[in-house]
Amino acid sequence: MDLNLKGKKALVMGSSTGIGKAIAESLVNEGAEVYLCSRTEEKLQACQKEIGAAGYEVCDLTKPNASSVLIENLVSKVGPIDILVTNTGGPQKANFLEVSDEQWNTDFQSLWMSPVEAIKAVIPHMKENNYGRILMVTSIAALEPLEGLTTSNGLRAGLSGLAKSISNEFSANGITINLLLPGYTNTDRLKALNLSDEKVKAMVPAGRLGKPEELADLATFLSSEKGAYITGQSIAIDGGVTRSH
């Protein structure tokens, strides 16, 4: 299936490893001109070489206005961005009374403000071109809270309401905005937990961890013209973990 993404410019945030890297690679494979972003230049250089991305920008998404500056710098170099994928790492685990004000502020910037700032910066260019695809990678915590992930549970849940609001506002401009909610996915972060096969089967009805490329290929489809009528949706890629949505 030709998704007609050749020549489309895409920025994938948090893309030197894991799910972000898989999305970037999937877009590259469909002919998109893909730019990477993360905090570590060494990892970005390696990732660019491995998957054939067009370039990269070093950016710490926990810093205020970092994503706005990222968009402005990239647009000044390569022109308007057609596809924006927001993606940030998971926050520290803590129950409510254990979460410090510092962690709330850091996670608010990373999980909430960094996508808000990026979207605000990119939409005017998308409106001019009457085409835009915005994907926010969050977590199944946006639908059902996960134990001990207080800040993630609270902040990510709000992004679905934000996506609904923004998608209604800009759908007539050819812009779609959707959320991708990964479940237990086989990334380095999850590997560190050393989950046994028995534990995975107990947690996931599908009986296995998700593959990053399974989410990535959905992201690529939604980034194409064939996904033009899908907007404002929160889509779980979780092997059946979320049962009430």
What are the helix (H) ranges across the chain? 18-29, 41-51, 66-78, 101-107, 114-129, 150-170, 188-191, 197-203, 212-222
Give the pLDDT band (50/70/90) at residue 9: very high
Query: Residue 193 has what pLDDT?
Result: 55
Predicted local distance difference test score (pLDDT) of residue 93 = 85
- What pLDDT score does 191 carry? 62
Residue 229 has a pLDDT of 97
- Domains of the chain are 9-237 (3.40.50.720)
What does the pLDDT read at residue 195? 63
Question: In whole angstroms, what separates CA 143 from the centre of its chain?
Answer: 16
User: Phi and psi of 14, rounded to 5°?
Assistant: 60, 50
- Kindly state the percentage of the chain with pLDDT values over 70: 95
Q: Is the pLDDT of residue 119 over 80?
A: yes
Assess whether pLDDT exceeds 90 at residue 41.
Answer: yes
Mean pLDDT of the chain: 91
| Verdict on whether the full-model pTM lies above 0.85 | yes
pLDDT of residue 33: 98
pLDDT-derived band at 245 (thresholds 50, 70, 90) equals low
* Residue 198 banded pLDDT, cuts 50, 70, 90: confident
Whats the size of the chain, residue-wise?
245
| Tokens read off for 88 | 């940030």
What sign for the dihedral angle of Cα 99, 102, 105, 108? negative
Residue 72: the pLDDT is 95
Task: Quickly state the pLDDT bin for 211 (edges 50, 70, 90).
Answer: very high
Give residue-wise pLDDT tens across range 215-226: 999 999 999 999
Q: Other CB atoms closer than 10 Å to residue 79's CB: what's the count?
A: 12
Each residue's pLDDT tens digit, 141-197:
888 888 888 888 889 888 989 999 999 999 999 999 999 999 888 877 666 556 666
Using the Cα atoms of residue 179, residue 23, residue 171 and residue 129 in order, give the sign of their dihedral: positive
* pLDDT, tens digit (0-9, with 9 covering 90-100), for 49-82: 999 999 999 999 989 999 999 999 999 999 999 9
pLDDT for the residue numbered 116: 96
